Amino acid sequence: MDLGPHADFIIAAYTTAIAVVGLLIVWVVGDYFAQKRALADLERRGITRRSAEPRPSGVKEPA
């Protein structure tokens, strides 16, 4: 494909876009696994949310 006399500018623009979008994806996915690990670590230590704790018998689920 012939990108003409300004091919460098076109390639630089697309490369920058790919790099920035790639960084965003890596950041979001990396953060997801970090938070998942942190929650799993807390759960392993017995620290859970009240809603995640087993309910005493006779107590109904909220609507």
Partner 1 sequence: MALIDLANPTRFLALVERVLPWLVAATVLAFAVGLRGAFLAPDDYQQGATVKIMYIHVPNAWLSMAAWGVMSLAALGTLVWRHPLADVAAKCAAPLGAAFTFLALVTGSLWGRPMWGTYWVWDARLTSVLVLFLMYLGLIALWRTIDDPARAGRAAAILTLVGAVNLPVIKFSVDWWNTLHQPASVFRMGGPTIDVSLLIPLFVMGIAFMLLFLTLHLAAMRNEIMRRRVRTLLLTQAERA
> Does 25 participate in binding partner 1 (rule CB under 8 A)?
yes
17 lies in the binding site for partner 1 (CB under 8 A)? yes
43: which residues sit within 8 A by CB, 6+ positions away? Answer: 52
What CA–CA distance (Å, rounded) separates 7 from 12?
Answer: 8
Nearer to partner 1, 31 or 55 (CB): 31
**At 47, which amino acid appears?**
I
Question: Are 25 and 18 a contacting pair, CB within 8 Å?
Answer: no
Least distance to partner 1, CB of residue 7, Å: 7
Residue 26 binds partner 1 (CB under 8 A): no
* By the rule CB under 8 A, 61 interacts with partner 1: no
Total of residues contacting partner 1 (CB under 8 A): 33
